[in-house]
Structure 1
Amino acid sequence: MPFDAASQPLSLPRWRSLSADEGDCRLSLTLEGRPLIQLRLVPGEVLEVHVQAICAERRQQALWAACYWLFARDPACQRLQWHLSDPLAQAQASGLLLATEDAGVYRSERTLFWQLPQPWLGESHDGVYPQQMHISNGKRHPLRAPKPRGEVYRRFDARLGAWVSLRTLEIEHDLERYNRWQNNPRVAHFWQEQGSLEQHREYLSKLEADPHTLTLIGCFDDQPFAYFEAYWAKEDRIAPFYPADDYDRGIHMLVGEENHRGPHKVASWMSALVHYLFLDDPRTQRVVAEPRADNAKMIGYMHDQCFHCEKEFDFPHKRAALMILGRERFFDRCTLV
């Protein structure tokens, strides 16, 4: 959605506030009360960005914040053309700025910007885990990195005006919540995992010990509302049903709090979940899911997020729809704000 000078400041992960003063063809950003960057904008087929003033101590941060603001206020904006006399080597090395054939002219691409892991992943991200092939349970796959603990993803969703974040599930802290959610008739209809606290403790303990599955809690403004399982498809029961690549990730999804249902909330958390999985390892080229084939509402939501249904197939316990979203398609069409 467009932002103007009267709009609420757009908050960013681990920054208290980022606010703007916008007028005809100009933009000034202030970060936490301090001037950050002043721009002259020239609309056209590609938005041209001329830097008039920039905080010398925070140039990389300033360029990133300007890209964020301009891409977030207009999801249709795919490219920025920068006019810079002295670009940062760091900005070019990261992919934030790309050189062109014209001296002093650089561009920023929306598809590249949203693939930069920071600040969305925060301190949980340690880079790409080295590859060594491994065999477990008769399946050959890459050795997986140790599972993270704590918060793994955070982004401010400007459409909702709320933080969307993901953290790892902690059994002692989340068991009762998980038990309540699984025993909700609406959830139980699709998950069929209703049971006692001890049954759910055993279930979660098995997943905690399983290196191919990561259990996550979804939060809006730090309030838990959903449970997700992210798994490596190569080692999962889904692998025999399609040609799984070494770094494909799969997802199981459960919204437990009734006040966080609805298409606008799904668009926020599902895009965040997929975004996290693609950022977590740049070798991940596909995210897959296998909802029940009769779960038309969830399948519809996934279509809205650019998943496509490859086929239907039979698990022992359900008829499933194989839903697939490719990395290129996600970042080409993503409407992250």
Structure 2
Amino acid sequence: MSNLNDLTTLALPSGNSLVADETASRLSLSLQGQPLIELRLTREPELRLWLEERFGRPDGQAFWAACYWLFARDPGCQRLTWHLEEAPTEALLSGLLIATEVTGQYRCERTLFWQLPQPWLGESRTGSYPQQMVISGGKRHPLRAVKPRGEVYRRFDARLGAWVSLRTVEIEHDLARFNRWQNSPRVASFWQEEGSLEKHREYLSKLEADPHTLTLIGCFDDQPFAYFEAYWAKEDRIAPFYDAGDYDRGIHMLVGEEHHRGPHKVASWLSALVHYLFLDDPRTQRVVAEPRADNTKMIGHMHNQCFHCEKQFDFPHKRAALMMLGRERFFDRCSLA
């Protein structure tokens, strides 16, 4: 794992890299070898920033880069106070900065910063999909957007020192891997989906055709290690067991590669998965999961990521724990870096 105190470079999903020269009182950032922004800093009683030089770059790009660097550098930092002579119009419109009662003073809140979808989501448009209520399977719910294809989320995890990304399942490409994972005794003991390639082709094909479930492959440094299912709770079998919101998302999780197990890896991929779902549609207020009630290890990992156990309940096939994480709690307490 990387030591954030030694951080000097941050990679961006675009392929570019932020490089910093930081002291206790100054921060200079460059992007791909070109100067981006230079700031004067004071750190007590809170972190304050004065713009020294912007090098002709757009406000939004330069201010965003500085906020990203400082929040990634210190996951405990909750707020940045900017002192600017001119109103940062673009940053104010996007929500990156908010005005204060003091003229020329603006704030960037960690809870707001991590809700901005770019650059983590690329070109996703799900969050702007209009609402129309429909009925399917006897359940009334919003009409869902067409499911995305390809990579849907990418972020460099500075604490882990690795890229964490999510892409949609490609059945022909991922079938053998999925089959191997499901036939692992460890996975089979909880999923109970072991079987042949044809059984798993049918399983994945059914979900691909289901508008309420999105199947995902989790990757570290572009190497697949996990399989996830993200579903709209309102249309799912979980809906009768709690008061499901129209945009609540649920998750099923499977880590297939043994060398990617461990609490530090779970902290990275679980926070990335939840982050993606909250960014994918800003109307999503809760992410839920229903692991087996005796899966104490997974439940413990979820507690560590701020989920709470709402209750235990009985599915026809298992005794389950209803794990829940609200949007406000996630962004208030997230330790994304």
TM norm structure 1? 0.97
Q: How far off is 1:12 after superposition?
A: 1.7
The corresponding residue for 1:332 is: 332
Q: How far off is 1:103 after superposition?
A: 1.2
The corresponding residue for 1:318 is: 318
Structure 1 residues 126, 243: closer, same or farther in 2, change over 3 A?
closer
The corresponding residue for 1:160 is: 160
The SS at the match of 2:306 is: coil
Query: Aligned partners of 2:274, 2:199: CA distance in 1, in Å?
Result: 29
Long gaps (5+) in structure 1:
none
Q: Which amino acid aligns with 1:273?
A: L
The corresponding residue for 1:237 is: 237
Query: Aligned partners of 1:15, 1:201: CA distance in 2, in Å?
Result: 34
Matched, 1:203 2:168: no
Q: In the TM superposition, what whole-angstrom CA distance separates every residue of 1:136-184 from its partner, at most 9, and x where no partner exists?
A: 0100000000000000000000011100000000101100000000000
The corresponding residue for 1:213 is: 213
The corresponding residue for 2:248 is: 248
> Is the 1:290–1:321 contact (alpha carbons within 8 Å) kept by the matching residues of 2?
yes
> Is the 2:212–2:235 contact (alpha carbons within 8 Å) kept by the matching residues of 1?
yes
The corresponding residue for 2:23 is: 23
Q: In the TM superposition, what whole-angstrom CA distance separates every residue of 1:33-55 from its partner, at most 9, and x where no partner exists?
A: 01111111111232110010012
Q: In the TM superposition, what whole-angstrom CA distance separates every residue of 1:271-328 from its partner, at most 9, and x where no partner exists?
A: 0000000000000000000000000000000000000000101101100000000000
Structure 1 residues 252, 174: closer, same or farther in 2, change over 3 A?
same
Structure 1 residues 7, 78: closer, same or farther in 2, change over 3 A?
closer
Q: Which amino acid aligns with 1:132?
A: Q
Long gaps (5+) in structure 2:
none
TM norm structure 2? 0.97
Query: Aligned partners of 1:243, 1:128: CA distance in 2, in Å?
Result: 24
> Is the 1:81–1:105 contact (alpha carbons within 8 Å) kept by the matching residues of 2?
yes
The corresponding residue for 2:184 is: 184
Q: How far off is 1:3 after superposition?
A: 4.6
Q: Which amino acid aligns with 1:327?
A: R
Q: Which amino acid aligns with 2:245?
A: D
Matches within 5 A, 1:39-58: 39-58=39-58
Q: How far off is 1:60 after superposition?
A: 1.2
Q: How far off is 1:88 after superposition?
A: 2.7
Structure 1 residues 223, 50: closer, same or farther in 2, change over 3 A?
same
The corresponding residue for 2:260 is: 260
Query: Aligned partners of 2:279, 2:250: CA distance in 1, in Å?
Result: 14
Q: Which amino acid aligns with 1:129?
A: Y
Query: Aligned partners of 1:302, 1:288: CA distance in 2, in Å?
Result: 10
The SS at the match of 2:128 is: coil
Query: Aligned partners of 1:63, 1:24: CA distance in 2, in Å?
Result: 19
The corresponding residue for 1:270 is: 270
Structure 1 stretches (4+) deviating beyond 2 angstroms?
Answer: 1-4, 124-127
Query: Aligned partners of 1:64, 1:8: CA distance in 2, in Å?
Result: 17
> Is the 2:78–2:109 contact (alpha carbons within 8 Å) kept by the matching residues of 1?
yes
Query: Aligned partners of 1:77, 1:116: CA distance in 2, in Å?
Result: 17
What percent of counterpart residues are identical?
77
The SS at the match of 1:306 is: coil
Q: How far off is 1:100 after superposition?
A: 1.0
Q: Which amino acid aligns with 1:9?
A: T
